[in-house]
């Protein structure tokens, strides 16, 4: 997603995901070839697409100039303006996504995640990595050039790609 954002070079990128029932959500209408967002349609009664806002964003600092100093809905006020000026793009998330906006869904999502983490195998360390002999690392996510300094600690990171 970061590489996609850098490549198009505009102000913002929204992660979108495919859903079976788009009428339950707000749909993001965009050019499937380049990702440029054209419109947002809230809970459409007629089919306009099946990709929805997944709640993950990357912005350049230019977005700060768009946000007034008052209560503002970024999704309803800022995103449409960014899209109409050609500054907002959609990145289709690969893999699994789940709406966890309701308590029952949140608990189900956490259960699925914890089952996934429990069944995940360890990965090899990159060349040049140094880990203190007192550290324990489980399910780590470390980006390039990450530095971790601890004398004695159990480190817990979210599972993902390094």
Shortest CA distance to 58 belongs to which of 4, 14, 24?
Answer: 14
Looking at the fold, whether 70 and 31 belong to one and the same domain comes out as: yes
pTM comes to 0.68
Structural domain range at position 59: 2-92
Catalytic residue among 18, 43, 76, 108: 43
The count of domains in the chain is: 2
pLDDT string in tens for the chain (162-residue length): 999 999 999 999 999 999 998 888 889 999 999 999 999 999 988 999 999 999 999 999 999 999 999 999 999 999 999 999 999 999 999 988 888 888 998 899 888 888 877 766 666 666 777 777 887 766 655 666 666 555 444 444 444 433
State yes or no: is 108 an active-site residue. Answer: no
Classify burial at 13, counting beta carbons within 10 Å of its beta carbon; exposed 0-12, middle 13-18, buried 19 or more.
buried
Residue 98 within a domain: no
Shortest CA distance to 50 belongs to which of 31, 28, 35?
Answer: 28
Looking at the fold, whether 80 and 141 belong to one and the same domain comes out as: no
Looking at the fold, whether 7 and 78 belong to one and the same domain comes out as: yes
**Among 57, 92, 127, residue at a domain's last position:** 92
């Amino acid at each position: 997603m970061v590489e996609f954002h850098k490549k198009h070079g505009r102000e913002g990128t929204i992660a979108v995901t495919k859903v079976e029932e788009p009428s339950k959500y707000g749909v993001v209408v965009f050019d499937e070839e380049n990702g440029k967002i054209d419109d947002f349609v809230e809970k459409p009664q007629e089919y306009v697409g099946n990709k929805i806002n997944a709640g993950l964003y990357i912005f350049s600092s230019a977005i700060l100039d768009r946000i007034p100093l008052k209560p503002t809905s970024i999704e309803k006020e800022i995103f449409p303006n960014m899209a109409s000026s050609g500054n907002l793009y959609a990145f289709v998330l690969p893999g699994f996504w789940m709406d966890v906006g309701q308590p029952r869904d949140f608990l189900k999502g956490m259960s699925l995640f914890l089952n996934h983490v429990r069944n995940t195998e360890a990965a090899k360390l990159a060349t040049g990595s140094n880990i203190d002999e007192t550290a324990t690392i489980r399910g780590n996510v470390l980006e390039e050039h990450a530095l971790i300094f601890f004398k004695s600690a159990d480190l817990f990171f979210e599972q993902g790609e390094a």
